[in-house]
Amino acid sequence: MSGHSKWANIKHRKAAQDAKKGAVFQKLVRAIMVAAKEGGADPSMNVRLKALIDKAKEANMTNDTIDRAIKKGSGDLDGQSYEEIYYEGYGPGGVAILVEALTDNKNRASSELRFTFSRNGGSLGEAGCVAWMFERRGVIMVSGEGLDEDELMMNALEGGAEDVENNEDGTFTIYSDPSIFPEVRKTLAEAGYHIDSADVQMTPKNTVSVGDKATASKLLRLLDLLEDLDDVQSVTANFDIPDEVMASLED
């Protein structure tokens, strides 16, 4: 199990904790508004919106809150206007970092991101400097006692998935093309699999090994601080921390 996958699991657990503080709600509302604005208010015709609605329901967001976010985004209700911006940069160890932000104040978002990068061993770069190292994919994480990898693979491929990764901790990550992500998720749910998380996100095409503990620690701290910024929706980085280093960091 790669360090990047372990970090993804840590992020998932952290998201569950953040949900209690309302942080996830705020980010989801913004994302739903932008998805409705760009792709329309009908989730049956807007794959991105449908995925976000499912994610919001998993976080126990009420239907009224979801509906208001959709209406604000589509212009049926007055509300703040958010802009989707990708920021690119480098972290400790030369790791490429891609940040997705939704903000109503581009200057504020840029300033906060630049400050966070520079104060934590990283640097904010120009548009296009690292984006080519990533691709958008549907990412579904499932867990359960005694999961059969071959059977899961068969079900996932039947639904249209591209790949299944064994995280070696009782969880599996399924990847798909974003356009058929809802179908893959539906197939797995109907087959009885417990879905821990499901989202369309940017993923690294290749990874950079970060074998030094001090560098790895600085990198994970930077990623955590970036994710905690109000305007930030998601953070993706192309790193791999060896198991033994990751284990020592968790200790």
CB of 31 closer than 8 Å to CB of 70: no
- Give Cα 177 distance to the centre of its chain: 15
Domain CATH for 169: 3.30.70.980
The verdict on 216 and 170 lying in the same domain is no
User: Looking at residue 25, which CATH number applies to its domain?
Assistant: 1.10.10.200
Number of domain units in the chain:
3
Identify whether residues 189 and 222 lie together within a single domain: no
Cα separation, 85 vs 106, whole angstroms: 8
> What is the domain range of residue 186?
133-204
Same-domain pairing of 69 and 7: yes
- Identify whether residues 186 and 216 lie together within a single domain: no
Claim to verify: residue 231 and residue 186 sit in the same structural domain? no
Same domain, 49 and 108: no
On whether both 195 and 146 belong to a single domain, the answer is yes
Query: Which pLDDT score, from 0 to 100, does residue 1 have?
Result: 39
Is residue 26 within 8 Å of 233, Cβ to Cβ?
Answer: no
Residue whose pair of structure tokens reads 């970092």 in the numeric block: 97
pLDDT of 81 reads: 77
Q: Is the pTM of this model over 0.85?
A: no
44, 98: one domain: no
Residue 116: predicted pLDDT: 97
The widest CA-to-CA distance across the chain, in whole angstroms, is 53
For residue 234, list its beta bridge partners: 100
- 198 with 211, same domain: the answer is no
Co-location of 151 and 180 in the same domain: yes
Sequence-distant (≥ 6) Cβ neighbours of residue 113 within 8 angstroms: 87, 89, 99, 101, 124, 226, 229, 232
H-state helical runs in 137-240 = 149-159, 181-190, 213-227
Helix, strand, coil fractions of the chain, as percent rounded to 5:
50, 25, 25
Instruction: Say if residue 118 is in the same domain as residue 144.
Output: no
List, run by run, the mean pLDDT of 10-residue segments along the chain (251 residues). Answer: 54 54 78 88 86 85 89 77 90 95 91 96 94 93 86 92 85 91 90 86 90 92 91 90 82 66
